[in-house]
Chain A
Amino acid sequence: MERLTRRRFLGGAGAAAATAALGPPARRASAQAKPLKIGLVLPYSNVYAVLGESITEGMRLVFERESWTVAGRKVELLREDDEVSPQVGLRKTKKLIESDAVDFLVGPVSSGVLAAIRDTVHQARQILIVANAGNDEISRERCSKYIFRASFSNWQPNWPMGAWVAAHVGKEAHLIAPKYSAGFDMMKAFKETFVPAGGRVVGEDYTPFPVNEDFAPFLTKINQAAPRVVYAFFSGSQAVRFVRQYDEFGLRARSKLCGAGFLTETDVLPAEGKSALGIITGHFYSTLLDNPTNRQFVREFRETFKKTPDGFAVQGYDTAQTIVHALKATGGDTQNKDRLIEAVRRVEFDSPRGRFRFDPKTQNVIQPFIYIREVREVGGELANVVIDQVANVKDPGTGCTLPG
């Protein structure tokens, strides 16, 4: 199913020429090493299917570049659909670990699934690279020697926003987020810097999740309170609905809408349309970032998949890059677990979001920058324009007892 790119074609042709020259037995390089098995526990159906797809595409882009062979080992992706269900995710995780004996496990999107599979992964001494789920606890009291996170902790995009909003937007904020663990995590992180910077939380609402059709009761309340700032976290279809209703209520002129990056990510921005103009969010990525790695990433991604990459694709890209770099460091060896873990810990490379490396204390990614972005119209299209940035944002890792 992989598209035949020029690089891939040349690689294949080269290999064919080489084997032809050597004559039979032809499978020299591939016969020496077992294929590298990467098990993906991601949602390919249900509400988060788009995210699972985006992450997988980001990974495929990296392996295409490597012609699907890393350090002499052929790369095999084993896709398992977790259906955004902790039970199914757990079952699929057991299958990939015990039945397929994968070298790396990658996933999940949902924090519920991550919370469910954490102990199983830890006890099986299975290396897991988290490609999305942001539950703070995985970098804190439930961190594990075997778990790395290439995406973010929920704390990361929100913590810098508190102080920034207090300094640049206003000191009176109303908080609103869906009533589940990610919502709680994110609002808590925002308050951590907002309040010490002189900010005052004038109201706080948690909306029904996963289904909430109507934000009117909450928006009415905000309308009456008329705070200077509304700080929000919503994602996917809820983000679209919230942003549009916020505009319809005419709140845009009175209260500045700020939030976590997911509120205006590339996956929802077109649907939000002009209602999103002026929203300020904090995120580890923007498609517009002007660095060589990102320019190449965006170009190749558009060529290959005919769409604009979002932060989720970057997470997949960085996950795959982590695997590639670690494997090259061990010369393709995955048998010696401790050596492999050490190699993953030391991984460092240029990512579209900046210089990528893990925090040895938590094995969570150190965000090179949290970009403060404002939605503006660029060349007729809506985009998240970077207006400020905060460097080296690493999760505090409270309660995590890794050696560091």
Chain B
Amino acid sequence: MPWVAGTYPVKLAQEILIWGIFAMSLDLLVGYAGMISFGHSAFFGLGGYVAALCLKHWSPSLASAVLLPAVAAGVAGLVIGYLSIRVSGVYFIMLTLAFSQMLYAAAFSTEWLGSSDGLPGVPRPSLPGVDLNLTPAFHLYVMVFFALAGVALDRIVRSPFGRVLRGIDDNAHRMAAVGYAVNRFKLVAFVVAAVIAGLAGSLYAQFNGYVSPEMLFWTTSGEALLMVIIGGTRTLAGPVLGAAAFIGLQSLVSSYTERWMLILGAVFIGFVLWAPAGLLGLVQEGAEPRA
């Protein structure tokens, strides 16, 4: 597709893939483990900032571009997760939100991180024989990581570990009674989600050539949550569809009206009330033969 379509639609597709990775990682928490995190932007932004700093000041290698950002996000996930999983429900939401806002405030007022203006001029990594500044090459690059993240998450949710997560979501007390270390499972899920969100953030930094504190802001978490819910929770393809719907709506409808949020709001309410299984649920329902 990148070779036939004009560059703008391809760039939109890349953006959808990157947000798709981010939304899938959030769905691991929201859809499978029942942990509604409002602070997932912390890892997205952290991945972005680490990628920006490493690519700019250290080396234009894959380690700078994706490995270190993912590791940094994982470490942050371990710390934030360790402290947050002790509580659940609304307290978990508030705690994760607070952590991400702390990182936001720190980035916003730190001059060497570019303060409110963020860090510009983030180069793309140089790989032997490939120029990632070309749109088709970068498209393939993003698709590779999208596929890796998708396969990894798919493996995880189908594994016994994934089944335990679902069990925790359904009834945490029973799982504990059966003998599972519920908190340990939750923490591992949280760290895995953080690593993948960090990867998405690092790709976003390379895609834009720029990072800003906004990546860490709570609205970024909120947008990912909307993508997950519109697309369909507890499915990995759903959040990707949700990302496509959200970004498509924002990019196309907003050219005609500044009230696109109103339309999005209506769509969101519609899904929550009448199609709780999300876009993917609608697609599957349509595909099934009616009895």
Residues of chain A whose beta carbon lies under 8 Å from any beta carbon of chain B: 44-45, 78, 80-81, 85-88, 90-92, 94-95, 98-99, 111-112, 115-116, 118-120, 135, 142, 179-182, 184, 206, 208-209
Contacts and interface: CB of A to CB of B under 8 A. Distances in A.
Nearest to B116: A180
Contacts of A116: 118, 120, 208, 210, 212
Given A86-B210, A87-B212, A184-B111, 18 more contacts: A78-B255, A80-B254, A81-B254, A85-B214, A95-B8, A98-B11, A111-B117, A112-B214, A115-B210, A116-B120, A119-B209, A135-B117, A179-B115, A180-B108, A181-B115, A182-B116, A208-B105, A209-B116
Contact of B212 (A45, A80, A86, A120): A86
Interface string B90-114: 0000000000000001001101001
Given A44-B258, A180-B115, A98 B6 contact: yes
A181 B12 CA distance: 30
Chain B binding surface, main DSSP class: helix
29 contacts: A44-B258, A85-B214, A86-B210, A86-B214, A87-B212, A91-B12, A94-B8, A94-B11, A95-B8, A95-B251, A95-B255, A98-B8, A99-B8, A111-B117, A112-B118, A112-B212, A116-B118, A119-B121, A119-B209, A142-B120, A179-B108, A179-B109, A179-B115, A180-B108, A180-B116, A180-B117, A181-B114, A181-B115, A209-B109
Contacts of B118: 86, 112, 115-116
A118 B210 CA distance: 10
Contacts of B117: 111-112, 115, 135, 180-181
Nearest to B256: A79
B261 A45 contact: yes
Contacts of A119: 120-121, 209-210
Is the interface on chain B under 10, 10 to 19, 20 to 34, or 35 or more residues? 20 to 34
Contacts of B7: 98
Contacts of A95: 8, 251, 255
Contacts of A94: 8, 11
Given A112-B212, A180-B109, A209-B116, A45 B258 contact: yes
A116 B117 CA distance: 8
Interface in B153-175: none
Given A80-B254, A98-B7, A209-B108, A87 B214 contact: yes
A211 to B, nearest CB: 10
Interface of B: 6-8, 11-12, 15, 105, 108-109, 111, 114-118, 120-121, 208-210, 212, 214-215, 250-251, 254-255, 258, 261
A217 B108 CA distance: 21
Nearest to A78: B255
Contacts of A180: 108-109, 115-117
B108 A120 contact: no
Contacts of B255: 78, 80, 95
A208 B209 CA distance: 27
A324 B105 CA distance: 42
Nearest to A85: B214
A99 B6 contact: yes
Contacts of A206: 109
A112 B120 contact: no
Nearest to B223: A87
A246 B121 CA distance: 40
Given A81-B258, A209-B108, A90 B8 contact: no
A91 B114 CA distance: 21
**Which 9 A-B pairs rank lowest in CB-CB distance, beginning with the nearest?**
A180-B116, A98-B8, A115-B117, A99-B8, A86-B212, A44-B258, A181-B115, A179-B109, A181-B117
A88 B261 CA distance: 13
A111 B7 CA distance: 26
Contacts of B115: 179-181, 184
A111 B209 CA distance: 16
Contacts of A142: 120
Contacts of A78: 255
A78 B254 CA distance: 12
Nearest to A115: B117
Contacts of B120: 115-116, 118-119, 142
Given A45-B258, A184-B111, A88 B250 contact: yes
A78 B255 CA distance: 8
Contacts of A115: 114, 117-118, 120, 210, 212
B209 to A, nearest CB: 5
A90 B109 contact: no
Nearest to B210: A116
Nearest to B260: A81
A182 B108 CA distance: 12
Nearest to A116: B210
B243 to A, nearest CB: 13
A111 B208 contact: no
Query: Most chain-A Cβ atoms within 10 A of its Cβ — which of B6, B105, B108, B111?
Result: B108
Nearest to B204: A87
A206 B110 CA distance: 12
A87 B208 contact: yes
A234 to B, nearest CB: 15
Given A85-B214, A86-B214, A120-B209, A181 B116 contact: yes
A42 B111 CA distance: 26
A340 to B, nearest CB: 22
B57 to A, nearest CB: 16
A90 B210 CA distance: 10
Nearest to B15: A91
Contact of B116 (A85, A87, A92, A111): A111
Nearest to A45: B258
A209 to B, nearest CB: 7
A181 to B, nearest CB: 4
Nearest to A114: B117
Contacts of B251: 91-92, 95
